[in-house]
């Protein structure tokens, strides 16, 4: 009897642990993975997807400081998209976790590259590393997770700044190039993998009041995320390879 009593706390703990794992996986509309989810649009996406009944995995470079993300109930993974070892560790931690929707959101604006005389080439390399190669590292590492998910959606948060047709006023050469390149890469994988049921899109989240533009946007992160979540949840195979804004409008390349 004494031995049985000793086992009670252990059994209780194992039941609690297994039920919390199950809660994460079942009874949800799917699992969404979001990079840069500790602030700005990424955090608003985590909040909106969580409120809509999805299980959220959000990444942060400093998980211990990601208080608002933690409050959404998201599983938090540490990730710096420029660091291959960090990407590998994150992927290892998520091995065998099916991902329905992968969202590459993390990004930086970098220095303004308007002036050829003062242009900082090293800074351009950093912007390309974060905004273009970062999403590629993440897609490469987590593609098996997406293939084992049911919805098989990959959303790369781009920008209308990446549209060459919409570039009518200059500015931000490298940021623009980083998003144009992301658009191109997204299109290639859309063509390669669409036939296997994977849907790749690039999206412009609107001009959003975040740290990136020192709060100068014309919509809030919550407005942007609400629109993005609706468009993303409605995506199907016919959207593969397209470029949409946060309201579902098609954008020119």
Stretch near ligand NAP under the rule CB under 6 A, chosen from 11-19, 20-28, 77-85, 90-98: 77-85
Give 3 or 92: the residue with its C-beta nearer to ligand NAP.
92
Catalytic residues, by residue number, are 175, 179
Residue 207 interacting with ligand NAP (CB under 6 A): yes
- Subset of residues 158 to 187 that bind ligand NAP, contact rule: CB under 6 A: 159
**Closest separation in Å from C-beta 236 to ligand NAP:** 23
Cα end-to-end distance, the chain, whole Å: 73
Bridge partners, residue 157, by sequence: 203
Among 24, 28, 29, 39, binds ligand NAP (CB under 6 A): 39
**Count of residues near ligand NAP by CB under 6 A:** 28
* Contact by Cβ (8 Å): 31, 37: no
Residue 225 interacting with ligand NAP (CB under 6 A): no
Stretch near ligand NAP under the rule CB under 6 A, chosen from 9-17, 20-28, 48-56, 205-213: 205-213
Residues that bind ligand NAP (CB under 6 A): 35-36, 38-42, 61, 79-82, 105-108, 130, 157, 159, 204-205, 207-208, 210-213, 217
């Amino acid at each position: 009897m004494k031995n049985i009593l000793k086992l009670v706390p252990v059994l209780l703990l194992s039941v609690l642990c297994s039920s919390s794992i199950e809660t994460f996986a079942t009874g949800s509309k799917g699992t969404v993975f979001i990079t840069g989810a500790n602030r700005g649009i990424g955090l608003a996406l985590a909040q909106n997807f969580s409120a809509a009944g999805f299980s959220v995995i959000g990444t942060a470079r400093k998980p211990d400081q990601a208080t608002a993300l933690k409050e959404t109930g998201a599983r938090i993974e540490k990730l710096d998209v420029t660091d291959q070892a960090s990407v590998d560790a994150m992927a290892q931690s998520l091995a065998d976790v099916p991902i329905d929707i992968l969202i590459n959101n993390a990004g930086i604006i970098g220095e303004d590259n308007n002036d050829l005389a003062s242009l900082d080439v090293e800074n351009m390399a950093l912007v390309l590393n974060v905004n273009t190669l970062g999403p590629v590292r993440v897609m490469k590492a987590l593609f098996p997770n997406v293939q084992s998910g049911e919805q098989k959606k990959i959303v790369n948060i781009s920008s209308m700044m990446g549209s060459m047709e919409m570039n009518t006023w200059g500015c931000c050469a490298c940021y623009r190039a980083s998003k144009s390149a992301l658009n191109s890469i997204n299109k290639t994988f859309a063509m390669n993998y669409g036939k296997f049921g994977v849907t790749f899109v690039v999206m412009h989240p609107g001009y959003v009041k975040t740290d990136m533009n020192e709060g100068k946007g014309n919509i809030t992160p919550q407005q942007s995320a609400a629109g993005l979540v609706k468009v993303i949840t409605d995506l199907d195979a016919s959207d593969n390879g397209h470029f949409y804004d946060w309201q579902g409008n098609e954008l020119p390349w």
